[in-house]
Amino acid sequence: MTPGEERPWGRWDTLLEEPGFKVKRLFVRPGQRLSYQTHARRSERWTVAKGAALVVLDGKDVPLPAGAMLEIPLGAAHRLTNPGTEDLVVVEVQFGDYLGEDDIVRLSDDYGRTGTR
């Protein structure tokens, strides 16, 4: 496991990384949300391990209870929100030919980070 990366909304740990895929564990603080973003070179699958999430996927709200999974297609605009009062834990599996953190275009961000990372 790679030590966590702190972000304004919480943190993430890389659990496993191999060519073509990466597995992360996301911890989202109560009331916080990630950027509304897209990726050019990867798709993602999110599984809620603890708590309940609210996802915006291409402009549509998708509630995800604990145990639910959602596929984020390549190029889809998406955002993960924790509407709860405890940390939200999500397992994210990324698939693609490039999985770097700079494959992010932020469309909207609560923390002033817009554009390409």
Neighbour count for residue 60 (Cβ, 10 Å): 7
Q: Is the pLDDT of residue 117 over 90?
A: no
Strand order in the sheet with 2-7: 2-7, 10-18, 21-28, 88-96, 42-50, 69-72
Q: What is the pLDDT of residue 116?
A: 53
Q: What is the pLDDT of residue 40?
A: 97
| DSSP letter, residue 76 | -
Q: Is the pLDDT of residue 21 over 90?
A: yes
Domain locations in the chain? 2-116
> One-letter amino acid identity for 110?
D
Of the listed ranges 21-25, 31-35, 76-80, 109-113, the one predicted with least confidence: 109-113
The pTM of this model reads: 0.91
Q: Is the pLDDT of residue 57 over 80?
A: yes
CA 22, 24, 25: angle at the middle one, nearest 5?
165
**Mean pLDDT confidence for 57-62:** 98
CATH 2.60.120.10 applies to domain 2-116 = yes
